[in-house]
Structure 1
Amino acid sequence: MLLEASAALAPFASFKATAAPPGGNLLLRRPVFPAPLFGSLIGTRRRSSSLAATESGQALTGLLFQPFEEIKEELSLLPTHLDLSLARQKYADECESALNQQINVEYNNSYVYHALFAYFDRDNVALKGLAKFFKESSEEEREHAEKLMEYQNKRGGRVKLQSIVMPLSEFDHPEKGDALHAMELTLALEKLTNEKLLQLLSVAEKCNDAQLADFIESEFLEEQVEAIKRISEYVAQLRRVGKGHGVWHFDQMLLREGDAAAA
């Protein structure tokens, strides 16, 4: 091995003469390599040996994550029964139940708003802006329910739909009129929904479910605050205009807002 290295590194080596053997006149020379170059050669061989050890599957010192060892516990937890979810992980029964309750809240809201849409769409009420607003609100609440259902399935829970309360069908009020009364009812309902969402978030935090908590905060809570602010402004405006001609102007404003958003 040394002879091969000597031949390859001959241009970098110096030669040192040795004494002639007895009775002979031939001088032998042995190569002398510079110390830095020889040290580099040794270091290269050591690195090659280390790489070979790694490739052969030998464990490195200080290894923090050993997947094939740590995965054994997760493999043992995988369900084998066909009725059990394979995706479920660290998802408490309490969170699953609370999520189903929120689905029911959203569907009830949608039902109430659909009843309000039907009322304002009557031929003897004919406030098309309010009718459109409540129809869109009903669709939005149903989308919220579906989003919660999709998340329930994503986490390995089971969606359990519950009964929906029959909403009112008449919304006229002798003092406030129908528009203000309906919008105040909407504001109260949105605030109640916000309370329900905060309760769901509290359950997620209690169960240390960071993923559910993040989902509620990012997908629902901010939007809920914006909805409360918007409807609060509608209530304030309707209180200003009273029950008369101003309601028609407010209704036209809602109609134009809907058309502008669609455009």
Structure 2
Amino acid sequence: MLPPRVAPAAAAAAPTYLAAAASTPASVWLPVPRGAGPGAVCRAAGKGKEVLSGVVFQPFEELKGELSLVPQAKDQSLARQKFVDECEAAINEQINVEYNASYAYHSLFAYFDRDNVALKGFAKFFKESSDEERDHAEKLIKYQNMRGGRVRLQSIVTPLTEFDHPEKGDALYGELPLFCRSL
């Protein structure tokens, strides 16, 4: 047997997506595509045509396992899931390594860009290298924040500022910080 139809006036007053009929608590308004006419009201009935009303919806009971994964402390991030503390510490260490390398490259850029040294090709290379290392650090910071970690920056080591050497020359002595970084 088909469910009873609703009068056109009642159908026009009810929204087309979902509405409950006022007649019984177990009635449901079934949506229909726009322009296809009125929807239908269905009722759940058991033996003896009684309305079934024993359905209990408890969403928090169903989600209790997932809710236990949500951190309760205010200082913890909601995005942090399966992100081990050792991984967070390693990323923070790498961020600081990248910033120190950027600072050393920037020092080399400043030295080779001076008017009495005048090695513009070297200066350009070290400027680009400094920018690249800083970009690496910024990408790691974004990743750390995306995963719910905390970025902990340390102080940057002061790099050398004079790279002139009477025997080795400027360029070879300037290569020393690059070699030390690769170790």
Structure 1 unpaired stretches of 5+:
1-67, 193-263
Match of 1:97 in 2: 89
For the pair shown, the structure with the greater C-alpha radius of gyration is 1
* Cross-structure match for 2:172: 180
Distance in 1 between the 2:100 and 2:121 partners?
Answer: 22
Match of 1:86 in 2: 78
- The equivalent of 1:215 in structure 2 is none
**AA aligned opposite 1:169:** T
Distance 1:144 1:70 in 2: 43
Q: Which of 112, 123, 126 is the equivalent residue of 2:104? A: 112
Q: Figure out how many residues of one structure are paired with residues of the other and give that number.
A: 124
Q: CA deviation at 1:70?
A: 8.6
**Bigger fraction of residues in helix:** 1
Paired position in structure 2 for 1:151: 143
What secondary structure, in the 3-state scheme, does the structure 2 residue paired with 1:130 have? helix
State the Cα deviation string for residues 85-117 of structure 1 (Å, max 9, x = none).
001111111111121111111101111111100
CA distance in 2, matches of 1:69, 1:187: 60
List per-residue Cα deviations over 1:202-254 (Å, max 9, x = no partner).
xxxxxxxxxxxxxxxxxxxxxxxxxxxxxxxxxxxxxxxxxxxxxxxxxxxxx
Residue among 129, 132, 142 paired with 1:137:
129
Deviations 1:117-142 (A, max 9, x none): 01001100010000011011111110
Q: Quote the Cα distance in structure 1 between the aligned partners of 2:122 and 2:166.
A: 19
Q: 1:70 to 1:114 in 2, by over 3 A?
A: farther
- Give the Å deviation of 1:74: 2.4
User: How far off its partner does 1:173 sit?
Assistant: 2.1
- In structure 1, how many angstroms separate the alpha carbons of the residues matched to 2:169 and 2:177? 12
| Counterparts of 2:89 and 2:61, CA distance in 1 | 34
- CA 1:70/1:101 → structure 2, altered by over 3 Å: closer, same or farther? farther
Identity over aligned pairs, percent: 73
Give yes or no for contact 2:104–2:177 (8 Å, CA) kept in 1: no
Residues 1-263 of structure 1: pairs in structure 2 closer than 5 A: 72-189=64-181, 191-192=182-183
Q: Return the alpha-carbon distance in structure 2 between the equivalents of residues 188 and 77 of structure 1.
A: 44
SS of equivalent residue, structure 2 residue 172: helix
| TM-score, normalisation: structure 2 | 0.62
In 2, distance between residues paired with 1:70 and 1:108? 50
Regions of 4+ moved over 4 Å:
68-71
5+ residue gaps, structure 2: 1-59
CA apart distance, 1:69 = 9.2
Instruction: Give the whole-Å Cα distance in 1 for the aligned partners of 2:179 and 2:64.
Output: 52
Alpha-carbon distance in 1 for matches of 2:120, 2:177: 19
Q: CA deviation at 1:164?
A: 0.6
Q: Tell me: CA distance 1:69–1:173, structure 2 relative to 1, closer, same or farther (3 Å).
A: farther
